[in-house]
Amino acid sequence: MNNYDPPDHWIFEDSRLELSHGPDEVPLTFLARMAHPEVAADADQAMRHVEALNVLPAPDGWGPRAHEFLSGPPPV
């Protein structure tokens, strides 16, 4: 083995990120930032992120939604 590759779920177990043991706002903010225009390549990718991320917090009644649009609303 030349490199140490952490398991796919490492991000949820990394104590520096507080995703599994911190306040609720931490993982919710992390999830919301995944769809931010500075992170997502385009609006389609952002919407795919939102659709995929809605599955995670949905059992608790939470889900990401658009707060504002930087360049106007996306096409319908």
Query: Higher model confidence: residue 62 or residue 16?
Result: 16
Tens of pLDDT, residues 19-50: 888 788 888 788 778 778 788 788 888 888 87
What is the number of alpha carbons within 13 Å of residue 5 lying toward its C-beta? Answer: 4
pTM of the model: 0.55
Q: What percent of the chain has pLDDT over 90?
A: 0
